[in-house]
Amino acid sequence: MSLSAKNPAPLRPLVPSTLLAATCLAGCVRDSAPEPLGPGRHSVYVTAADGTRLAADVWLPEGARGQVPTLLRLTRYWRATEYLGDGAAADREEQLAQLYVSQGLAVVAVDARGTGASFGVSTGPWNADERDDGAAVLDWIVDQPWSNGQVVGLGVSYEGNTAALLAASGHPAVKAVVTRFYDHDPFAQLAFPGGIPNVGFMGAWSEFTAALDRNDACALARHEGRTCPERQAEIAGPRPVDPDDLDAALAEHADNLDLAAALAGVTFKDDPLAAGGESFDDIAPYRWAAERAAVPTLLTASWMDGGTAAGALDAWASEDGPAIVEIGAYSHGGIFDSDPLRDPLPAADPAIEAQYVQALQFLAEQLGGAPAPARELRYVTLGDGTWRTTTTWPPSSVTPRLLALDAGGALHDGPADPGEDTLVVDAAATTGRENRWLAALHGTPVRYPDRAAAPGLLSWTTAPLDADMRVTGTPVVRLQLRSSAADAAVFVYLEDVDDHGVTRYVTEGQLRLLHRATGDAGPGRERVTGRSYRRADARDYAPGELVDLVIPLLPTSARFEAGHRLRLSLAGADADTFAPITPDGATITVLRGPAGSTLELPVDGAP
């Protein structure tokens, strides 16, 4: 999910106008009478099963000789913007719609109920009504005279989840989907990583979407970093179907769920967002793994974008259908590169234009009757920019290497001497406001500060490496730990230290002690720990209690150069991003010894 839905960087022409035609249209177009709407863009209402009117834009291609396939986009970020000037020329969604139509596709973009110019009430993200509306829109498309009965989905961020839910619908019209930077487990991989409230992102996102839903120009201008008069001079609001209806639709949005207030009452994955309503557990794509597995899927994520890579790998492990998973070093949305081990940052690889070429090619092949794609996972390695391909995860060339946390801040192979290290929690410790969780708000590059001497950290560092080391998979930290607090949040960071002492972030993990219980693997549980984050698995913590914690870091593939050192750092806060759980000045003590605290690295021995 992102605030960057409106007006990111302009999109250059991506593909030759013959791409879809050459691949698909000979088999996709079905002869029929001319469509009554005619080519171009049309704003219409689609009526949901309960009578709610959903605002939709329909784009039909010029010169199509018969019925055509449809690309469906379901959004809560306004399907289209009503500009007062020439702003539409720089609107990415406008450009993309024109691109898709130029490839011979019809495009249908729909405002989710309770958003944009649609009527109705939103009871929360990806709610049951919204999911049912997706099926109603599919039925409507199939019934249109210009439709050949084939539908594909393509979505980024929030819309990536709606594309995944199209695949989960079981509707026979859905032939393939492209899901980009979506949230497979919205609780553990976005809103509450490690069970800790991600208030930095969710607070801003909740305020932004609420402002969209009421068309509050001044609130939206603040989020966009401009003045209210500047925005009001450019944008009227969501594009209406009938201008006389817009005020009535916006008035119904006043009853939308107050997500910010709802999140304040959530601690567990199965807590309802509203009384009698759905929980994060109810809306997560993992609930429909079997249904989604039947639909060919291209899934794009990033090692540096929130928890999207973890979600992509969870989907890979739990769904055995025809899927291509691609994990890059992108910013949220794929426009920028965010490799922390390359300086200066290179351009995104592949560039955003090439990413859309790949997406369109994938959809065109499936619409044209190509065999379902073979399962394949493509990923880039941070630090060298090399793309690799595997059919197993982690790759078969990966073996675990166990490093012990030892006295004097040492991190090494073999057992450690008995002892303990204590962190005095600094509640102001932070990874900044351009980290993997907050950069997604605007789709900007992910950047971390050099925290070599930052306060509020307790660190252990290896000796310089004798040779390059490539870590590919999920590093796991096991801590024997006690805290002086009644509850605590533990943050751990894997970092690269170069021969000049410059420290660069690679990946992280976090855990609230309340959620420390582990269990068996299954849907909605962490793959490494079986941790559920559900209320029944909560474990209260008594100050001073010694506990064994297992904290999987977010997965990565990263090359650590010869001569560099690896550093593991521990903190009790990330002030700009996560809610304060551990009191300032509280202590977190880590035990060392033969059976003490360790870092397990998945080391890839392949060339």
**pLDDT single digits (tens) 440-453:** 999 999 999 999 99
Full residue range of the structural domain in which residue 485 is found: 398-604
Predicted confidence (pLDDT) at residue 27 exceeds the cutoff of 50:
no
In a domain, 357, yes or no: no
β-strands 323-328, 419-424 pairing: unpaired
Mean pLDDT of 492-508: 98
Last residue of a domain, one of 225, 253, 287: 287
C-alpha distances out from residue 122 to 155, 160, 259, Å: 20, 18, 10
**What mean pLDDT is predicted for residues 140-161?**
97
Per-residue pLDDT tens over the stretch 107-130: 999 999 999 999 999 999 999 999
The DSSP H or E segment spanning 155 is: strand 147-156
- Report pLDDT digits (tens) over 260-274: 999 999 999 999 999
- Mean pLDDT for all residues in the chain: 93
| More confident position, 302 or 521 | 302
Query: In this predicted model, what pLDDT tens digit does every residue of 37-64 receive, in sequence order?
Result: 777 899 999 999 999 999 999 999 998 7
**pLDDT, position 11:** 37
Q: Say whether pLDDT at 279 is over 90.
A: yes
**CATH code of the domain covering residue 462:** 2.60.120.260
pLDDT at 124: 97
pLDDT of residue 21: 38
Mean pLDDT for 358-385 is 97
pLDDT at 514: 98
| Degrees to nearest 5, angle at CA 96 with 92 and 100 | 175
CB 136 within 8 A of CB 48: yes
Same domain, 111 and 245: yes
Region 337-365 average pLDDT: 95
* Active-site residue, 332 included: yes
pLDDT band at 10 (very low <50, low <70, confident <90, very high): very low
The confidence score (pLDDT) of residue 36 equals 62
* Boundary-marking domain end, from 259, 287, 315: 287
Q: Which tokens hold the place of 163?
A: 């594309």
Both tokens assigned to 581: 């759980």
Beta strands 598-604 and 476-483 are antiparallel
The C-alpha R_g of the chain, in whole angstroms, comes to: 25
Average pLDDT over residues 151-156: 98
Per-residue pLDDT at 13 exceeds 60? no
Helix (H) or strand (E) holding 421: strand 419-424
pLDDT of residue 3: 64
Give 1's pLDDT tier (boundaries 50, 70, 90): confident
In a domain, residue 69? The reply is yes
Q: Cα dist. 241→40, 142, 183, 266, 409 in Å?
A: 15, 21, 30, 37, 63
pLDDT tens-digit series, residues 397-430: 999 999 999 999 999 999 999 999 999 999 999 9
Domain endpoint, select from 261, 287, 313: 287
Residue 452 tokens read as 């070599």
Catalytic residue among 223, 332, 442, 564: 332
User: Which amino acid, one-letter code, is at 67?
Assistant: Q
Query: Has residue 368 got a pLDDT over 80?
Result: yes
DSSP-derived letter for residue 414 is S
Between CA 404 and CA 460 the distance in angstroms is 9
- Mean pLDDT over residues 319-343, rounded? 96
Q: Is the pLDDT of residue 285 over 80?
A: yes
- Residue 17 pLDDT > 90, yes or no? no
**124-149 confidence digits (pLDDT tens):** 999 999 999 999 999 999 999 999 99
Any residues with CB less than 8 A from the CB of 69 and at least 6 apart, and which?
24, 28, 104, 105, 106, 147, 148, 150, 151, 152, 175, 367
Domain-located, residue 297:
no
pLDDT band at 6 (very low <50, low <70, confident <90, very high): very low
Q: What CATH number is associated with residue 86?
A: 3.40.50
Side chain identity, residue 179: T
Q: What is the pLDDT of residue 477?
A: 98
Q: What is the pLDDT of residue 32?
A: 41
The secondary structure of residue 433, as a DSSP letter, is S
Instruction: Kindly state the average pLDDT of the residues 456-476.
Output: 98
Q: Do the domain assignments include residue 155?
A: yes
Query: Which entry of 4, 157, 169, 532 is annotated as an active-site residue?
Result: 157
564: pLDDT strictly greater than 60? yes
Where are the alpha helices (H) located in 346-390, listed in sequence order? Answer: 352-367
pLDDT given for residue 28 in this prediction: 53
pLDDT bucket at 600, cuts 50 / 70 / 90? very high
Q: Which residues contact 538 (CB under 8 A, 6 or more apart)?
A: 268, 514, 515, 517
Identity of the residue numbered 382:
L
In a domain, 196, yes or no: yes
Same domain assignment for residues 421 and 279: no
Kindly state whether residues 279 and 403 are assigned to the same domain. no
Count of domains for the chain: 2
Element (H, E) at 310: helix 308-318
Question: Which of 202, 201, 171 has the alpha carbon at shortest distance from 74?
Answer: 171
Which residue of the set 91, 216, 281, 305 is catalytic? 305
Q: Has residue 508 been placed in a domain? A: yes
Q: Is residue 245 part of a domain?
A: yes
Express each pLDDT in 185-222 by its tens digit: 999 999 999 999 999 999 999 999 999 999 999 999 99
Confirm whether 238 is domain-assigned: yes
> Catalytic annotation on 305?
yes
For the question of residue 157 being annotated catalytic, the response is yes
